[in-house]
Amino acid sequence: MIKFYQMKWWGIALLPFFFCPLKIYASIGINEFQVEPSGSSQWIELYNSGPDSQDISGWFIDDDGGTTKFTIPTNTVLTPNACMSFQSGSFFWNTASGDKARLLSGDTIIDEYQYSSSPGNNVSFGRLPDGTGGWTTFSNPSRDKLNNTNTSCLSLPTPSPSSTPLSTPLQTPAVSPTPTPNDYSNLSISEYLPYPDSGNEWVEIYNGNDSEVNLYGWFVDDVADGGSAPIGISGTISAKTYKQFYLSDSFLNNSGDDVRLLNGSKIEKNKTSFSASTKAKSWSKDSSGNWCQIDPTPNSSNPSCPTLTSAPSPSASTGTNTPKPSPTPKSSSTPTSTPTAKPSPTPSISPPTLPPLTLRGGTEESDIKETPTVLSSSTQRNINFPAIALIAVGGIVFIASVGLIIRGYVHPPPD
């Protein structure tokens, strides 16, 4: 029995030696990292949420089982409630598929985060609140800054920590205080790019207030209760200005989707929708509230939309099949004022084309229409001359024939 109690006592006495290192390690964690930074190497930010400074010299930063590890340099001390970032070309986090970001001390995994796909160009993974909160994405990475407030969190140089605790440990809480996300009115989505030619999709928000707003803890989402998970955004927008927030490379559907702005409680504050998109063209809202697709104008005011293009629609030429009146055949067949000398007596000549419509003696126009053959004397002569000649010749022949017949009766030929 004595030995049993002695063993139990010694086991209890050894507990601090087992749990103290775990407690120390628990205060150090991955706070933010970027898989696809623009024009630079991948980077990672560590955060110390504990009350004591910690020497992390010789620790490793690695991906999921890679052969190359990044070793944290000697004399690297992370002070309480502070951050420190490392940038290297030897992290090798996958951009085309999922991977892990891991922090190790020897073979012990201190912290890790596994992602299923890259968040996209210039988008980072990070915790809210810093050090201990859940993971989200930031369209505006806050390297060396608190994710909560976007203020600097860089660790100040300190001497290497001794084996004894600090004589006057800081009384600040182990976790940075989480500010309550602010709520605002007069914030609206002013432009968004759902189908980029390259890089990430993005959304632009306009601050219509008379003072600066802080969008820490706000979100951008697509269709409610479906689609992609909301993307966290963070940053300030000055009064009456625009600010662009990157999303990912496949957040919005090119064929149509909703774009929603949510506050820190994920309550919808503004929403717009589209039914189609054009590559490299953004949907933009002008000062009159009309939406149209234009060449992108991020972080600046938007131009006025062309007429009748507040939504995707056919071109203006559609539906205007007769843009100008064609000349009617009547106007193109109007005869000249001078009558033709053609001897055609056909009555198809319309009365209005007769040039000599001189109403002599109070003749009414209706009378002229009833006798369309009434022509001027000169025209009548020109038209009836052949007929008169033919009649005259026929009359002469007729008279001669009659004379011969009479002569035959009066003076019969002798037998």
pLDDT digits (tens, 9 = 90+) for 16-34: 444 444 444 568 999 999 9
Quick one: pLDDT at residue 20? 42
- The rounded radius of gyration (Å) of the Cα atoms in the chain is 49
Q: pLDDT tens digits, residue range 254-285?
A: 999 999 999 988 899 999 999 999 999 999 99
Per-residue pLDDT at 74 exceeds 70: yes
Q: pLDDT tens digits, residue range 218-232?
A: 889 999 887 778 888
Q: Look up the pTM and report it.
A: 0.40
Quick one: pLDDT at residue 40? 78
Share of the chain above pLDDT 90, in %: 34
Location of structure tokens 């980077």: 43
DSSP string, 101-162: EEEEETTEEEEEEEESS---TT-EEEEESTTTSEEEEESS--TTB-TTT--B-BPPP-PPPP
Per-residue pLDDT at 374 exceeds 60: no
| Residues in contact with 127: Cβ distance below 8 Å, sequence separation at least 6, in sequence order | 29, 30, 31, 32, 47, 133, 134, 135, 136, 147
- 182 φ/ψ sector (left φ>0, alpha ψ -120 to 50, else beta): beta
Q: φ and ψ at 366, to 5 degrees?
A: -65, -35
Helix (H) or strand (E) holding 365: helix 365-370
Quickly state the pLDDT bin for 175 (edges 50, 70, 90). Answer: very low
DSSP at 229? P
Q: Which amino acid is at 316?
A: A
Q: pLDDT tens digits, residue range 316-337?
A: 333 334 344 444 444 444 444 4
What average pLDDT does the segment 292-305 reach? 94
What fold characterizes domain 187-294?
A: Immunoglobulin-like (2.60.40)
Quick one: pLDDT at residue 206? 96
User: Where is mean pLDDT largest: 292-296, 309-313, 398-402?
Assistant: 292-296
What average pLDDT does the segment 195-222 reach? 88
375-379, long-range: CB < 8 A, 24+ apart: 379/339
Taking the alpha carbons at both ends of the chain, their separation in whole angstroms is 195
Per-residue pLDDT at 4 exceeds 50: no
- Residue 152: count of CB within 10 angstroms of its CB: 11
Order of strands, sheet of 99-105, starting from the edge strand that comes earlier in the sequence: 70-71, 60-62, 99-105, 108-115
Quickly state the pLDDT bin for 361 (edges 50, 70, 90). Answer: very low
d(CA 272, CA 255) in angstroms, rounded, equals: 15
Per-residue pLDDT at 400 exceeds 60: yes
Q: Please say whether the beta carbons of 119 and 29 come within 8 A.
A: no
Mean of the per-residue pLDDT values for the chain?
75
Delimit the CATH 2.60.40.1260 region(s) of the chain: 19-138, 187-294
Nearest to 191 by CA among 238, 86, 261, 100: 261
Per-residue pLDDT at 131 exceeds 80: yes
Question: What CATH architecture is 19-138?
Answer: Sandwich (2.60)
Quick one: pLDDT at residue 149? 87
Quick one: pLDDT at residue 148? 84
Query: Residue 329, Cα to own-chain centre: how many angstroms?
Result: 50
